Amino acid sequence: DQNKLNKKQEKISKAIKPSKEQIYNQAIHFHSKGNILEAAKYYQYFINKGFEDYGVFSNYGVILRGLGKLKEAEFCYRKAIKINPDFYKAHFNLGNVMKDLGKLKEAEFCYLKAIEINASFADAYTNLGNVLRDLGNLNQAEISFRKAIKINPSRPDLYNNLSIALFQEKKFKEAIISWDNATKIKPDYAEAFFNKGNVYSIIKDYKNSI
């Protein structure tokens, strides 16, 4: 009868046209498996269908940035923020894109916004510190790196970042202590040993020049 026919047609239609949830789940599945290109196809399909989800825009932004498509990534992160202004990771990721584009002041603003929403986000303090260092605000960079370490004192890379800022501020003894802290956590941290060696070399040259 007509009812059975209608139900059959509905089933066929659903099979041909995947639902919002099905598209989303496929995108997440491929992304989690590291199949970036397939994940990108499903994220784009999701967006093309007119569906809106801040997580989809944010995840797609990560892929686009990885592919070097910075303007497209920026668009996705801004869409994610528009949908959910309190999604701190989108502000953080937008900051990363702004830094890649050389827009350091905009990157600084994005990281500060991420921190405003989530004050315990160590990576935001770290990336903010890197931007401040690039802008020449070494004292503020040092403060930001110290805040990152306070949140996560077991990460050697945070001590390394702090050491570089201290070195640029000519706080050589403090820089060496910070690099020592990094290598205590990670004894095979080659970059920290290399940087520490450069400091000793500079101190020696400085003393010899007096």
Closest CA to 182 of 170, 167, 169: 167
**What is the reported pLDDT for 97?**
98
**Tokens standing for residue 130:** 């890197």
CB of 104 closer than 8 Å to CB of 72:
no
Which range among 17-26, 30-39, 79-88, 183-192 has the greatest average pLDDT? Answer: 79-88
b/e per residue, 47-70, with b = 16+ CB within 10 A? beeeeebbbbbbbbbbbbbeeebb
**What is the reported pLDDT for 205?**
59
Q: What percent of the chain has pLDDT over 70?
A: 89
3-state secondary structure 27-65: HHHHHHCCCHHHHHHHHHHHHHCCCCCHHHHHHHHHHHH
Q: Which residue has the tokens 């450069």?
A: 198
User: CA-CA distance, 165 to 127, in Å (whole number)?
Assistant: 13
pLDDT above 80 (res 142): yes
CB of 192 closer than 8 Å to CB of 182:
yes
The secondary structure of residue 118, as a DSSP letter, is -
Q: pLDDT, tens digit, for every residue of 61-105?
A: 999 999 999 999 999 999 999 999 999 999 999 999 999 999 999
Q: Which residue has the tokens 């570089």?
A: 164
**What is the reported pLDDT for 190?**
84
**Tokens standing for residue 156:** 């050697």
Q: How many CB atoms lie within 10 A of CB 101?
A: 14
186-189, long-range: CB < 8 A, 24+ apart: 186/156, 189/156, 189/160
pLDDT band at 5 (very low <50, low <70, confident <90, very high): very low
CB of 117 closer than 8 Å to CB of 86:
yes
Max CA distance (Å), the chain: 101
